[in-house]
Amino acid sequence: MTRQVTLSRRTLLLMATVTGVIVANLNFIQPIENLVATDFRVSKAIVGLLAMLTQLGYAFGLLLIVPLGDIFDRYHLIQFMMGLSILSLLLAYWAPTVTVFGIATTLVGVTSVAPQIIIPYAGYLAPALQRGKVLGVVLSGLLTGILLSRSFSGLLGSLIPWQNIYLVAAVIDLFFLVIVHWRLPRDQRGHRALNYGAVIRTLPKLLVTQKPLQGAALNGFCLFGISNVLWSTLAFYLAAQYHLGSNVAGLLGLLGIAGVLAAPMIGTLVDQRSPRLTVGLGMVFSGIAFVIFWLAGHWLFGLIVGIILLDLGTQFSQVSNQAIVQSLNRQQSSRNNSVFMFSYFLGGSFGTLAATWAWGQAGWTGVCGVALVFLVLAFIGHLRIGEPEKLTVNNG
């Protein structure tokens, strides 16, 4: 059957919204780490480990589940994963011990992968010359979900028991699952005659044989790692430096609106100029942000400016790399996205773990030092592997 492009504005808005709603599940713990540590009577290092497990679970969900998008009907696969995510959120709400909560947060990460099935589906439906712009809109939803999840969690955590955050999230996800069932376009490809084991075995080959995928994977690892270096320790820093709670940590997350508003423009810049240029800008913004955190982070104004620049840098990287990955081969778009996003969230989990450890060893200076290591690695990859000057479309 000949594929017809049916990506209406309403469909695109639905995809962007659902992407943001589901990815929000990954970040609820960050602004409430102090509350979780107090309630379960565990150290900050243990809570940092729980946050890392969520990211790590998501990374392995990306590696092992997202490739199913190249095998199964994505309309049904997206709904199935949303259902499992809701069950994981309910387990996190109920968890009576830190061990059960750790299992639940890991499962929340593993099952909340529907956004990374939606993103290549949006790229598949989009006209070739508008792919960067379309992905920019969907990724605006992704970043909106990330930043609002921190505000949502931080503010609710100051008003109600923190466990209820996961219950409210489960109800919201269920509401959107119903909308997705009725409004998301059917996948015209249907189920494909591919073997899951064979598909998984192709993943290393995809990385080895596609230099643009290598560059995107390394840059995503580093830039999302840098982002999580801040967000995994911000609640600790606010409490220690300013004696502020989870509500302020959540409000600071709203500063990422700059990255959300910029995403469609970044996508257009990728289409019309060069993904190499926009990836480079992402590194510059992120680097400047941590220079400001190090030199002026003890002033609230310095934190605000740095957070805005960091979110811009993260968005430049994410939109640019997604456009590169989705231009490689339409028939293996889910697998390419799986490789990229596995590296992306693996970097996030390492950033979380390293920053939490550095906070315990050297405070805010140690945290900024961890970000510097990620940034240096990103610049080495930019110089040695690089990104394409122009996007090319491979229909496979």
CB contact at 8 A, 255 and 307: yes
Q: What is the distance between the terminal CA atoms of the chain, rounded to a whole angstrom? A: 16
Q: How many of the other CB atoms lie within 10 Å of CB of 102?
A: 20
Q: Tokens in use for 53?
A: 């497990």
Residue 134: C-alpha distances to residues 118, 119, 240, 270, 275 (Å): 12, 9, 42, 11, 15
| Burial (CB count <10 Å: 0-12, 13-18, 19+), residue 288 | middle
Rounded Cα–Cα distance for residues 197 and 338 (Å): 15
Nearest partner of 28 among 183, 138, 156, 126, judged by Cα:
156
Distance of alpha carbon 7 from alpha carbon 331, whole angstroms = 18
Domain positions in the chain: 9-384
Torsion of CA 262, 264, 267, 268, to 10 degrees: -100
The CATH superfamily label for domain 9-384 reads MFS general substrate transporter like domains (1.20.1250.20)
pLDDT in tens, the chain (396 residues): 344 445 778 888 999 999 999 999 998 888 888 889 889 988 877 888 888 899 889 888 888 888 888 788 888 999 999 999 999 999 999 999 999 999 999 999 999 999 989 988 887 777 766 766 787 788 778 878 877 887 888 888 888 999 999 999 999 999 999 999 998 888 776 666 667 888 888 889 999 999 999 999 999 999 999 999 998 888 888 888 888 877 787 778 777 777 777 777 887 788 778 888 899 999 999 999 999 999 998 898 999 999 999 989 998 898 889 888 878 876 777 788 888 988 988 898 899 889 989 998 999 999 999 999 999 999 999 999 977 777 665 555
What is residue 131's DSSP assignment?
A: H
- Backbone φ/ψ region at 38: left (φ over 0), alpha (ψ -120 to 50), beta: alpha
pLDDT of residue 231: 86
Joined together, the tokens standing for residue 177 give 């699952």
Residues 235, 245: Cα–Cα separation, whole Å:
7
